[in-house]
Amino acid sequence: MPTIVNELPLNQINSQAIVSVISPTQDKGSFPFACQISTKTIALADNCQLLSNAYTASQLSSSNESSIELVVFSELTFSQLSNIIAQCSLTVLAVNAINHRNNLISYRFAVQCDDLSQARSQLASLSLDQQFEVALIEEAPQLNTPGVLVMDMDSTTIEIECIDEIAVLAGVGEQVAAVTEQAMQGELDFAQSLHQRVATLNNSPESILASVAENIPLMNGLESLVAQLKQYNWKIAIASGGFTYFADHLKQMLDLDAAHANVLEIIDGKLTGKVLGDVVDAQAKADCLIALQQQYQLPLTQTVAMGDGANDLVMMNAAHFGVAFHAKPIVLKQADSAINFSGLDCLLHWLA
């Protein structure tokens, strides 16, 4: 059905930010409103409030039937937006929502594409090259509906790799850090690499664990992400190939719903260089997510997993929405979306 639109020439607004043309304070009843973007113009339905007078009236066929959304932040320019659309072979149909969350504004465009996997790959390259956050999401989980978020711990919820910090205090820092990097890149079997690293800690005093935990640096945005999700009754957990000493500390500090990690054997106040029980590997992380989803009887479409290393991929694939956070290349290639430069609370904008 034809819709009356306002048509703006891109050459007049290319250098302007989206927020300076499409008002971030729209009537809630106006969403979704029709939108089309070509190499020369952007056409927006006339119920969209514009902050620019440089337009002409025309018509377009209105349709927003797509489960795929392109999510961009308000400071992105129209030049960058049109480049994303062209490079990723997207067809823009509508503006679904404008969200104001954690002091940022994001615009959600309903889009169509012939090959979502290829479009995401191209988008990942563009965002890294031009250093902006952007996401292409199919059937995004809803923020205001209860869901499950499971996060990796080391280099995701906290800024450090705990085992590397422990190893420094134990005098084997360089040796352990090299093995950790190989494991995160997917070059070593995780369980094998964990036993190899922990063995170097034999006879180290238990006190080095307390030293690391005392000043553990939380990842930027973690506390605000947890607080916002809890407002909507989300269940939040850590699933880590690290150690319970730190995961349990974070669980208590942030009032999380669960924490799964490896148990270091300690006898007479000293580490033995052994891990007790089964290793929390990639599959165990995925099992944690599914167990929480089933325990709280939440839909699979409301499950999210975030991590940075190869041992997070199985968990991310088990979730409806897998997000790579400041991640290794192998993870970026397989994730549904990524957060490359911002804090963890950027996830709030990827959720619908």
Q: Which residues participate in catalysis according to the annotation?
A: 152, 154
CB 133 within 8 A of CB 107: no
| Cross-strand pairs, 304 | 149, 321
Nearest CA to 289 out of 150, 140, 145, 135 is that of 150
What is the three-class DSSP state of 54?
A: coil
Q: What are φ and ψ of residue 61, in 5° steps?
A: -85, 120
What 8-state DSSP symbol labels residue 141?
Answer: P
Amino acid of residue 212? V
Please compute, for residue 51, the number of CA atoms within 13 A of its CA located in the half-sphere on the CB side. 12
CA-CA distance, 203 to 262, in Å (whole number)? Answer: 18
Provide DSSP, 163-193. HHHHHHHHT-HHHHHHHHHHHHTTSS-HHHH
Cα-flanking dihedrals φ and ψ of residue 261, to 5°? -160, 180
Q: How many Å apart are CA 239 and CA 100, to the nearest integer?
A: 30
CA 130 to chain centre: 18
